[in-house]
């Protein structure tokens, strides 16, 4: 499982548990909170009504007096109220009064007149000077049928409790408010959960992207590929810079070791030829031999100089991870320049150069490196082309790529060498018996192609000869 997915799942689990707990707490508090507010209101109402009922209870006319009449008339009143979007048209109160023995002497609903309520908590506790309240189901089988009863004492002139007034209100009357509050809490909870998950998803994607870029960079470096440090932020940028520094130091050390070994190996042959020729020149020799050995020293010296120059150029290209400031490059104009630079070599070899260049638009890269690469390909073709033959340089477009081809009519590439022509220091004997090249030219071309995001290949062509193909992406 990828780290981004693991981070997201962990974050999702934490957020989901937190949201669940918060939702349960909020929902669990909504209903008790609303009922507590209702109980507070019922306490006030019961005590106000108890004061109003005192005179009629003392006078013995509680069931027929003005208090009873006014309470009953409330049932016919149209309240016409709108409470937070809910209409309230009538009263949902029930008011009953018991005497000092707990016997109901007034009931606004008329259903319990004369009943003994002395054992109900609202009456029982109030008659003993305590706060009396209870919540009882009107239907024993329906848990939502509970009715809250809150009582207040009715006192005589001497302060003694002579009765109890109870105000009862169904909890069901508050259910719409409770349900709406719960719905609001759940709705906003879902919105917050969605936002939190979206933030988590973005964060997990960002972390995964940062780590994925560094992982791909590390794999590419391990495989020896040319890789650019991915754009990162924060600690990931510091980690990337540390990886880049470590790569540069390790590659630099290995690079030097490898090149010193390769260079010393390749220099042995020309140095041995120079030393042997110099030793022979120290002895008396005929003029013809002296000229021949002096020429050998000059040729081998030039070979060493050429090898060092090309090795330095190759090292500069291989060590680069990217083109720092790519610019538009016209390959057609560049090929024309290379043709002019190779004029002397063409004349010396007795070979003609033919250009067939299509207008395909520019590529982005380093004009100097591309010119050197094409010059190497053309020079290689001239070395292998027979006298009086033609080396062709063509430029055309293939999809979104520019294709430069350099063809000759030389002996072609032996089968055993096809897979090694781009190796460092690998070279083939020239057709005229001349000395081998440094074996660095084609390796340089391959590095330049890779640096530009392209590729190069060398293969035999029909009818004899070889074709070198340099492919570079066109500028978008």
| pLDDT digit string, tens, across residues 69-79 | 999 888 777 76
Q: What are phi and psi of 56, to 5 degrees?
A: -65, -35
The answer on pLDDT for 255 being more than 50 is no
- The tens digit of pLDDT for each residue in 316-330 reads 555 565 677 788 999
Contact between 170 and 68 under an 8 Å Cβ cutoff? The reply is no
Write the CATH number for 423. Answer: 3.30.565.10
245, part of any domain: no
The answer on pLDDT for 141 being more than 80 is yes
Q: What percent of the chain has pLDDT over 90?
A: 30
441-451 helix and 287-318 helix, angle to the nearest 10 degrees: 20
**124-152 average pLDDT score:** 89
Domain stop point among 157, 179, 201: 179
Q: Which of 205-214, 316-325, 337-346, 404-413 has the lowest mean pLDDT?
A: 316-325
356, part of any domain: yes
299 vs 455, more confident: 455
Cα–Cα distance for residue pair 49/152, rounded to 1 Å: 9
249 vs 82, more confident: 82
Domain stop point among 129, 162, 179: 179
352, part of any domain: yes
**211-236 average pLDDT score:** 70
**155-184 average pLDDT score:** 83
What's the pLDDT score for residue 166? 96
170: nearest Cα among 92, 106, 117, 108: 92
Q: Looking at the 3D structure of the chain, how many domains does it have?
A: 2
Cα–Cα distance for residue pair 444/63, rounded to 1 Å: 115
267, part of any domain: no
449 vs 193, more confident: 449
**259-286 average pLDDT score:** 68
Task: Classify the C-alpha dihedral 253-255-258-262 as positive or negative.
Answer: negative
Contact between 400 and 376 under an 8 Å Cβ cutoff? The reply is no
What's the pLDDT score for residue 146? 86
Site of tokens 């991870």: 321
50, part of any domain: yes
72 vs 204, more confident: 72
The answer on pLDDT for 226 being more than 70 is no
Contact between 421 and 458 under an 8 Å Cβ cutoff? The reply is yes
Q: How would you classify the pairing of strands 81-83 and 390-398?
A: unpaired
* Tokens linked to 206: 């960002």
Domain stop point among 124, 150, 179: 179
What's the pLDDT score for residue 263? 53
235, part of any domain: no
The answer on pLDDT for 299 being more than 90 is no
317 vs 389, more confident: 389
468: nearest Cα among 386, 343, 348, 379: 379
**433-442 average pLDDT score:** 65
174, part of any domain: yes
Site of tokens 């937070």: 84
Residue 21 neighbours by CB under 8 Å, 6+ apart: none
Helix, coil or strand: residue 64: coil
Contact between 127 and 102 under an 8 Å Cβ cutoff? The reply is yes
Residue 57, CB half-sphere, CA atoms under 13 Å: how many?
A: 25
What's the pLDDT score for residue 82? 72
What's the pLDDT score for residue 202? 80
What's the pLDDT score for residue 306? 60
Contact between 149 and 167 under an 8 Å Cβ cutoff? The reply is yes
207, part of any domain: no
Write the CATH number for 146. Answer: 3.30.450.20
Residue-number span of the structural domain to which 328 is assigned = 323-476
> pTM to 2 decimals?
0.44
């Amino acid at each position: 499982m990828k780290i981004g997915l693991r981070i997201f799942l962990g974050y999702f689990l934490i957020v989901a548990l937190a949201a669940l707990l918060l939702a349960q707490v909020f929902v669990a508090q909504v209903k008790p909170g609303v009922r507590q507010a209702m109980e507070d209101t019922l306490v006030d109402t019961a005590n106000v009504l108890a004061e109003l009922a005192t005179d009629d209870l003392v006078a013995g006319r509680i069931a027929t007096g003005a208090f009873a009449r006014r309470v009953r008339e409330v049932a016919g009143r149209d309240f016409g109220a709108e409470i937070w979007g809910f209409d309230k048209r009538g009263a949902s109160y029930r008011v009953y009064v018991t005497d000092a023995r707990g016997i109901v002497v007034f009931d606004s609903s008329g259903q319990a007149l004369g009943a003994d309520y002395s054992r109900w908590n609202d009456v029982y506790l109030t008659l003993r000077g305590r706060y009396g309240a209870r919540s009882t189901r009107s239907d024993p089988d329906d848990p939502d049928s509970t009715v809250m009863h809150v009582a207040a004492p009715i006192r005589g002139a001497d302060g003694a409790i002579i009765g109890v007034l109870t105000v009862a209100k169904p909890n069901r009357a508050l259910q719409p408010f409770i349900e709406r509050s719960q719905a609001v809490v759940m709705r906003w909870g879902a919105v917050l959960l969605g936002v939190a998950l979206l933030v988590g998803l973005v964060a997990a994607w960002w972390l995964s992207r940062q780590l994925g870029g560094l992982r791909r960079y590390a794999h590419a470096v391990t495989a020896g590929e040319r890789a650019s440090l991915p754009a990162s932020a924060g600690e990931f940028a510091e980690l990337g810079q540390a990886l880049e520094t470590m790569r540069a130091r390790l590659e630099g050390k290995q690079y030097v070791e490898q090149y010193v070994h390769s260079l010393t190996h390749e220099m042995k042959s020309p140095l041995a030829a120079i030393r042997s020729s110099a030793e022979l020149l120290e002895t008396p020799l005929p003029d013809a031999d002296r000229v021949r050995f002096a020429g050998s020293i000059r040729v081998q010296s030039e070979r060493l100089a050429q090898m060092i120059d090309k090795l330095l150029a190759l090292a500069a290209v291989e060590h680069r991870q990217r083109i720092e400031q790519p610019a538009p490059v016209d390959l057609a104009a560049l090929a024309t320049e290379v043709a002019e630079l190779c004029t002397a070599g063409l004349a010396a070899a007795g070979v003609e150069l033919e250009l067939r260049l299509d207008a395909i638009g520019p590529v982005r890269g380093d004009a100097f490196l591309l010119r050197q690469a094409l010059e190497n390909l053309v020079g290689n073709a001239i070395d292998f082309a027979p006298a009086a033959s033609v080396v062709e340089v063509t430029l055309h477009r293939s999809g979104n790529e520019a294709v430069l081809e350099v063809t000759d009519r030389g002996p072609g590439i032996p089968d055993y060498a096809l897979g090694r022509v781009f190796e460092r220091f690998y070279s083939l004997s020239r057709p005229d018996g001349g000395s081998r090249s440094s074996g660095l030219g084609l390796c340089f071309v391959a590095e330049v192609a890779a640096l530009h995001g392209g590729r190069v290949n060398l293969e035999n062509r029909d009818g004899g000869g070889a074709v070198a193909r340099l492919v570079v992406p066109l500028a978008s």
